[in-house]
Amino acid sequence: MYPKIAMGALVPLLAMTLFACSGGTGTEVQPFSEVQGSEFLFEADPTALDRGIFRMTTTEPMICAIIWGETEEFGNFNNSLAMNGTGIIEHDVFLPGVEPGVTYYFKVQGSTADGVLYESEVGTFVIPEPADDESSTREALGPNLALDASVVDVSSEFSDTFAAAKAIDGDPATEWATSGNGDEAFITLDLGEELQIGGVEFVTRSMADGTAITDEFTVTVNSETLGPFPASNLAQPRIAELEVTGQVIRFDATSTTGGNTGAVEVRVYGPPAEG
């Protein structure tokens, strides 16, 4: 199983066929409001900057999809990973590639077990910009020392593409993934010399099925283990401030959702600038 999987499953073939054939068979499409059990909700995915989540419930099990895009020609469609080939009531759908602050058009389509087809009117949604509550902390601290560090030990690497070095390359588009280490994941950095450390950050990777998320981590410097601290994700930074000096620093994932855990980035900040 590869660590990266598609963020939204395609609409099941059955649902696609029903909608494609409805015009030719004279089947009348009913208003989606007849089976809509809740408001359509759109929110930012707390684990990824380039992904939104669409949530709704229906009054009976349905195969549903949301069709969306920057114009009324749409161009994207996704459904709930939980559907797994059958009808469900609670629909939580990942929307990959969504940019915060951009207006998108959408409509929702679905079918029930009796073959009745439903479709909503065209609407719009905007995913809000993420709040960076740690920006002042990051600005107060020194540079990211990990960018000049080297990886001297790691629990495992899924492949060269997901090598440990990807966690200190400064690129949020790359990441280190373990080969199923779960809570046993760790990565050890050598800063090259004894340096003052003002803070650390572990930006967790994640998978669409809810695995590979690190909730808490510790750091070990000079045989002293500090933490646990809450992990960051790309949409929600969390920086743990420290006052230690060291050259070798080990990050351990201590509370995770299991699987191919790892990090988009691990960061080691210098101390705050004087004056």
The tokens for 217 are: 């981590």
**Cβ 108 vs Cβ 40: under 8 Å:** yes
Q: Which residue has the higher pLDDT, 123 or 233?
A: 123
Q: Residue 238 and residue 256: Cα distance in Å, rounded?
A: 16
Please state, rounded to an integer, the average pLDDT across all residues of the chain. 86
Global confidence as pTM: 0.62
Minimal CA–CA distance to 216: which of 199, 228, 201?
228
Q: Residue 80 and residue 74: Cα distance in Å, rounded?
A: 18
Give yes or no for residue 48 having a pLDDT over 70. no
CATH superfamily of 135-269: Galactose-binding domain-like (2.60.120.260)
Domain ranges of the chain: 13-126, 135-269
Q: Residue 84 and residue 225: Cα distance in Å, rounded?
A: 43
- Topology alike, domains 13-126 and 135-269: no
User: In the CATH scheme, what architecture does the domain 13-126 have?
Assistant: Sandwich (2.60)
Helix (H) or strand (E) holding 19: helix 13-25
- The residues pairing with 151 across neighbouring beta strands, listed in sequence order, are 189
Q: Residue 146 and residue 141: Cα distance in Å, rounded?
A: 14
**pLDDT band for position 3 (cuts 50, 70, 90):** very low
Q: Which residue has the higher pLDDT, 97 or 164?
A: 164
Could you please report the per-residue DSSP string of 54-115? Answer: EEEEEEEEEEEEEEEESSTT--EEEB-TT-TTS-EEEEEEEEET--TT-EEEEEEEEE-TT-
Give yes or no for residue 2 having a pLDDT over 70. no
* pLDDT digit string, tens, across residues 121-151: 999 999 887 665 556 666 778 899 999 999 9
Minimal CA–CA distance to 63: which of 122, 121, 118, 7?
118
**pLDDT band for position 34 (cuts 50, 70, 90):** very high
Q: Which residue has the higher pLDDT, 15 or 169?
A: 169
